[in-house]
Amino acid sequence: MPTPTVILLMPDAIFAVYFVCFFAIYTNMIESCRKFGSIAFFIVASVLVGDQVHGQALASVSTKKALTELEIDSLIHAFDALPLAEAEKILGQEVQNTSPSKGQLQSLRILAQVQLHKGKTVEALQVAEEILQGAERLKQHSEKGPALFLMGSIYNQENLKEKALDAFLKAAPWSEKYGEPYESFANYYQAGYIQYHGENYEAAIDLLNRALRIYQMHAQDFKVKVRRFDVMNSWNTLGLAYMKLENFASSFIALRAARKMAEEDRNEFWEGLTIGNLGTLYFKTGQYDSALLMTAVDKRISLRYREWHNAANAIFVMGNTYEALGKHLEARKAFDTVGVLIRAHQFIMPQYYSKVAGFYAEAGDHKTAYTFIKKFQAEHDSLLARQNSKERAYLQAAYDFDKKLANHSLVVKENQLKDEQLKNQSYLMATIGLGLGMALVLISFLYRRNRFRKKVNKDLEDKVKTRTRKLLEANRELDTFLYRSSHDLRRPITTIIGLNNIGQYLIKEDIAREILHKVNTTAQAMDQMLLKLTTAHDLNSHVVELSIIRLNELVSEVIKKFEADLQEQQIAVSVAVEDVRFVSDEKLLRIIIMNLIDNAIHFTSPEHLNCIDIRVYDGHGTVNLEIRDRGVGIAQPFRNEIFKPFFRGSDRSKGNGLGLYLVKKALDRLGGKINFESEIGKGTSFSISIPNV
């Protein structure tokens, strides 16, 4: 132990370190010695030489051998077989027990991959960002590429395609410079796959060619089955991209390479798939005999694997080939087989109905041709509805993911702060017995920690405010876009309606007039939907304007607007309006009544005597409105959904899913309430209560 003279010359912090160690050893508290010793040296590093030296000391420690990518893949596969909680516990302990190094970053990467495979994408993204920060801090550049690739995979799974593409393209240069060949290949392959499905075929071709050049230079690193599958898929996607751009020679080369790999790996399903793509290519280039041979193989394999849609596509190409060869009987048999598959397995294939309609039109059977044209339109509309629904789901998923990410970040930061507080409390309690020698150092330490905590809180608050502001700006931009788009689209639709009216007057042929009637109905429906979108935008900024409303006149005006629909569907309207002095916003009230009557007309049932009952009466401080129909009723599973925008009970529903949403939105502006009662097959009754100002 140093002499008293030496101790007097030491700084306070060094004296505190010696005092702590002496106290722990003297009392035989081995665990306390380990804890207090680490605390003391951290304090000395922080107070005397600063955080930078401390970070460099930690970065210089390496206690674990780095793993190869194949070893990492094997570990990920092993941990995937465990329950998530157990895998997180084991890997979390491994990370804590490993000094900051490449080995620790690889352990974090395994943890993030397991979380991703188990669907915990928010947690996986947090770990991936931690890996990227650690790689930058520790100068471990070989881990930057895998971290960015991992982030791209997470965004890709959440259908955030732009973010995923950006992450893969950022990862590629790092992987090419520091990583294994498969890392570089995987980044370009995934980026090319995203570009292909985004219909950016030229960009997809460039990226996939880069990936395949890496494979050709390092084929020995791609012997694992999973990696060979990625290469095979790259060749196939490249061939399809070339085919989209009508570069048939390059398409042949790529698709034949994909087929060869499928044959070598004895992957019969993919062999059939690539052969089918080659069959399509032979058809496009006029090599009809080869096209028939290839598509027949694709059909046989698809049927064996019960891939009905793939089989139908192969048979459809066969039908087109027979048609090109002038073999109309064989072509008709092929298309009839497609129809059998569609009816048996209930999948959507609009081009089949268009093709069959053409056959009947050529045969002079226009009535049957028109029936298939309607089926084609219905299938096409259903496909568009599904696509729109999927796009809305992707937007909602992206919003939910960002929200979950923000909430998770808040929770993580809060837990970190709580941990810090607990640690500080423990340290404070432990150092009370150490005497006045540690007082100055502990005050300095706690002050630094408190300042750090405030900085973290402020940064977190600023980040939340920034994200909230961006979300509000995005919502305002989306609102403005919907309003302007709806307003601009109404003009050509109005022109279509006017031209249709002229056509109805000039054309006398029954089938043509019926088609014009359908066109008019569709255009009117589109016009109504755009009008409702415009109304939804107006409601966001509408300022309530009070006036005395003559309810009897208002209800009559609204009913008159639906006079043609009521007559066409033979719907009777019963009106009972009490003479009530009512002060409210006439525009909002008109929106409410119009959309409720429109809803009642849409869901009338042809099986009953159609009637709509409208009743308005004084509710002592409120005015109550009841509208009852004799329609199909509302099924129990949908009753909590009907006031949501764009909700439709099925793809076949007539409405656009905005009417009841506008009713609820207008009522909220007026401070009103809405309730309903419904019985399947007997109808629905809506009851509204609006304050009488």
Lookup: tokens for 344:
């048996």
- pLDDT for 529: 64
Residue with tokens 């009743």, as numbered in its chain? 615
Q: Which of 646, 162, 652 is nearest to 392 (CA)?
A: 646
Per-residue HEC secondary structure of 308-376 comes to: HHHHHHHHHHHHHHHHHCCCHHHHHHHHHHHHHHHHHHCCCCHHHHHHHHHHHHHCCCHHHHHHHHHHH
Pick the CATH number of 542-691 from 3.10.330.20, 2.40.50.140, 3.30.565.10, 3.40.50.300: 3.30.565.10
Question: Are 121 and 398 contacting, i.e. CB atoms less than 8 angstroms apart?
Answer: no
**How high is the mean pLDDT in each 10-residue block of the chain (693 residues)?**
40 47 44 38 35 34 62 87 88 82 86 88 89 89 90 90 93 90 93 94 96 94 92 96 95 95 93 94 94 93 92 92 92 89 83 80 78 75 65 60 62 62 67 72 79 82 79 62 58 73 76 74 66 70 84 90 86 89 89 89 74 90 91 84 76 68 89 90 90 84
- Nearest to 102, CA basis, from 46, 145, 64: 64
Tokens representing residue 295 in the block: 């598509």
Residues facing 548 on adjacent strands:
583
Distance of alpha carbon 519 from alpha carbon 524, whole angstroms: 8
Cα–Cα nearest to 554, from 513, 521, 582, 518? 582
Q: Is 604 helix (H, G, I), strand (E, B) or coil?
A: strand
Looking at residue 451, its pLDDT comes to 82
Residues 108, 125: Cα–Cα separation, whole Å: 11
Largest CA distance in the chain: 118
CA nearest to 78, candidates 90, 95, 68: 90
The pLDDT assigned to 49 comes to: 33
Decide if 297 contacts 278 (C-beta within 8 A). no
**Could you tell me which of 209, 113, 211, 200 has the C-alpha nearest to residue 171?**
211
* Amino acid sitting at position 424: N
In terms of pTM, does the model score above 0.75?
no
Q: According to CATH, what is the number of the domain 458-541?
A: 1.10.287
Q: Are 431 and 13 in contact (CB under 8 A)?
A: no
So what's the pLDDT on residue 647? 76
Strand partners, 624: 617, 689
* pLDDT of 404: 63
Does an H or E element contain 617, and which? strand 611-618
CB 96 within 8 A of CB 112: no
Token pair belonging to 21: 């160690």
- Exposure string (b/e) for 360-385, b if CB count within 10 Å is 16 or more? beeeeeeeebbebbebbeebeeeeee
Query: Token digits for 348?
Result: 């959507």
Report the C-alpha gap between 118 and 80 in whole angstroms: 8
CATH architecture of 65-161: Alpha Horseshoe (1.25)
Residue 103 pLDDT: 84
- The pLDDT, as a whole number, for residue 513 is 73
Helix 308-324 / helix 350-362 crossing angle, nearest 10 deg? 30
Domain locations along the chain: 1-60, 65-161, 458-541, 542-691
**Residue 146 to residue 167: CA distance in whole angstroms:** 10
> What DSSP state is assigned to residue 645?
T
Helix, strand, coil percent content, the chain, rounded in steps of 5: 75, 5, 20
Residues in the chain, total:
693
Report the alpha-carbon distance of residue 603 to residue 601 in Å, rounded: 6
CA distance 417 to 32: 23
Q: How far apart are CA 668 and CA 689, in angstroms?
A: 11
Tell which residue, 300, 254, 260, 257, has the closest CA to residue 276.
300
**How many Å from the N-terminal Cα to the C-terminal Cα in the chain?**
88
Residue type, 66: A
Q: What value, to the nearest 5°, has the Cα angle with vertex 96 and ends 91 and 97?
A: 95
By the 8 A CB rule, do 23 and 434 touch?
Answer: yes
